[in-house]
Homo-oligomer: A and B are copies of this chain.
Amino acid sequence: MSDLRSIGVFDSGIGGLTVVKAVRDLLPNEKIFYLGDTARVPYGGKSATTVQRYSVEMTQMLLGEDVKAIVIACNSASAVALPNLEKTLSVPVIGVILPGAKAAIAATRNRRIGVIGTRATIKSGAYERAIHSLDSKIDISARACPLLVPLIEEGWLNDELSDRVITRYLEPMVRERIDTLVLGCTHYPLLADAIARFLKSNVKLVDSAWNCAAAVQDLLNRQSLRAPAESSGGLEVALTDAPDNFLRVAREALQLEIGEVQLREVMHGAPAL
């Protein structure tokens, strides 16, 4: 059995392209339809209610594209909207939190894990819940890092200023002797080199993009939803607002073939969950 339909991926903006990159590398035969809500980006500072509403609207738009599965490539949306979407959607849905939590547990030796993300993700406590549901004895040190996304969007990926901001955010975690750090925002893999420079080899980085892609592969296999091995795969990108400078940064940093970007209006008044 195989399934030629696309995988739908949505994110608050363009950061979710790090997940797309990982899925493309791991599953080159799959078609991906990516939807970035750039008209309302970022979700990271907004309330759970608002992020839930936006997530329902985005998944409805993806269902309109006849996707076979949906990936929430946004930690903020995964953190607060996934449980309800899992219950109500007609296709399987996967977030970035649980795959990241599993990978962190597999990586830690001293059972002290750090988690960084946006305000919404950290405030939701979703990583703590996911990690503790698998192993209640792990110490977690979580911190919101709202400066990192704008630094990445400036393209200051290897830059003394970014190094200083990273030091400010991560020094307390190092003092708490974490040995594993979850990059709990899909933008952050673009700063992975700078973060690794600060942490040296003492701390393992868990990239939620890569672990999410592995979970997608797993899901497609289990549910016989893989595209045929001979199909060529591809990527369509749609945004709710015209792309800006960051699309260029992401395209270059990720070496991703994006092609022409479509513009879509947000469908309001999606059915309530």
Q: Say yes or no for A268: interface residue by CB 8 A criterion.
A: yes
A102 contacts chain B at the CB level, 8 A cutoff: no
- Contact check: which of B50, B165, B241, B245 meets A46 at CB < 8 Å? B241
Nearest to A45 among chain B residues (CB) is B244
Taking CB atoms, residues of chain B closer than 8 Å to A91 are: none
Residues of B within 8 A of A150 (CB): 146-147, 149-150
Measured between C-beta atoms, what is the minimum distance from A15 to chain B in Å? 13
A164 within 8 A of B: yes
Expressed in whole angstroms, the Cα–Cα distance for A47 and B154 within the complex equals: 17
CB proximity of A104 to chain B, nearest CB, Å: 26
- A47:B241 contact, CB within 8 angstroms: yes
Nearest B-chain residue to A164, judged by Cβ: B161
Residue of B with least CB distance to A268: B268
Contact A242:B49 (CB < 8 A) given known A146-B153, A150-B147, A154-B146? yes
Using an 8 Å CB-CB cutoff, how does the interface string of A231-250 with B read, 1 for contact, 0 for none? 00000000001101100000
Number of copies: 2
In the complex, residue of chain B having the shortest beta-carbon distance to the beta carbon of A239 = B47
Interface 9-mer from A2-10, A36-44, A125-133? A36-44
The 8 Å CB contact of A164, one of B49, B154, B164, B242, is B164
Q: Is the CB of A39 within 8 A of B40?
A: yes
Name A146-203 residues within 8 Å CB distance of B.
146-147, 149-151, 153-154, 161, 164-165, 168
- Which residue, A39, A41, A153, has most C-beta atoms of chain B within 10 A? A39
Write out the residue numbers on chain B whose beta carbons fall within 8 Å of the beta carbon of A39.
Answer: 40, 46, 50
The CA of A149 and the CA of B150, in the complex, are separated in Å by: 9
Residues in chain B near residue A41, CB distance under 8 A: 45
Which of B46, B161, B245 meets A38, CB within 8 Å? Answer: B46
Residues of B within 8 A of A154 (CB): 146-147
A-B contact pairs, 26 of them (CB 8 A): A38-B46, A39-B40, A39-B46, A39-B50, A41-B45, A45-B153, A45-B244, A46-B241, A47-B242, A47-B244, A49-B241, A49-B242, A50-B241, A50-B242, A119-B245, A146-B153, A146-B154, A147-B147, A147-B151, A149-B150, A150-B150, A161-B164, A161-B165, A164-B164, A268-B268, A268-B269
Chain A residues within 8 Å of B, Cβ to Cβ: 38-41, 45-47, 49-50, 119, 146-147, 149-151, 153-154, 161, 164-165, 168, 241-242, 244-245, 268-269
